[in-house]
Amino acid sequence: MYAAHTMKGSKISEVFSKTGYNLTAMHTNLKDSMFDYEYGSLRYVYSDRIKAIMRLFVEGIQKSQRAVSISIIKIADHLKALQEVEKKIKDTLFSLTSTLRSTVAVFAPLIGGVTLSITKLISNIITGISDKLPSGSSLDVASGLPGVTNSFALENVRTEYFVLVIGIYIIQLIFLLVRFTNGIDEGDDKAAYMYSLGKMMPTSIIVFSLTVILGQILFAQIFPA
């Protein structure tokens, strides 16, 4: 309780306060008060680093208070040095991670939407040319390519299939790049990864959808179906 009062205002003070409550009100031991699956004070803490430190504290206090105090001081010095190293690494890789985030949020869905619009435009052009050909003739879009027949013509492929394929590709790209950039910035933190994914996924989908809609409207004016 003294540690919770001393560090009042920080997140860790809530953990210490809950631990003290479990010890006094529920009469549990230190290990159960922190790590019990039902009422442990660390059950809503998702940082593996914090859990590992507190587990070391619990195991060390069973030996002697002096030993665990020395261990905690050593760990604190190590974490401070580790934070400085992580900060330098993040500053060095900032240009890479920011570029990847921009790619996921804007450039990839934008390029995908423009590609679909161009595909729709080409399909309209081929359909228009085919309609203008004399009766009984056909447009050989695969001329000069042995073994390719008119059954593979672009006009026979519906635009919705392209939207589905590119949409799935962009969603997979979001999962991969967000996982990669989050691994660089936050390490193996599942909560931070899900939070970043929750922010990035709607943005990318909105950009992709708007690009497809606006692109098809603009290209339809150039060559209407």
Whole-model pTM over 0.85: no
Nearest-angstrom CA–CA distance, 50 and 15 = 11
User: What is the separation of C-alpha 8 from the centre of its chain, rounded to a whole number of angstroms?
Assistant: 33
Residue 103 CB contacts under 8 Å (≥ 6 apart), including other chains? 177
Instruction: Report pLDDT for 145.
Output: 42
Phi, psi of 146 (to 5 degrees): -60, 140
HSE-CB of 141 using CA atoms within 13 angstroms: 14
Instruction: Report pLDDT for 132.
Output: 64
Tell how many helices (H) and how many strands (E) occur in the chain: 9, 0
Put residue 94 in one of left, alpha, beta given phi > 0 → left and psi -120 to 50 → alpha: alpha
Cβ atoms of residues 104 and 112 within 8 Å: no
Task: Per residue of the chain (225 residues), give pLDDT as tens.
Answer: 666 677 777 777 888 788 888 888 877 887 888 888 888 888 888 777 788 888 877 777 777 777 777 777 888 888 888 888 878 887 888 888 888 888 888 898 999 888 888 887 777 777 666 666 555 555 444 444 444 444 444 445 677 778 888 889 999 999 999 988 888 777 777 888 888 889 899 999 999 989 888 887 887 676 655
Q: Give whole-number Cα distances, 59 to 4, 63, 68, 86, in Å.
A: 20, 8, 8, 28
User: Which tokens belong to 167?
Assistant: 């949409």
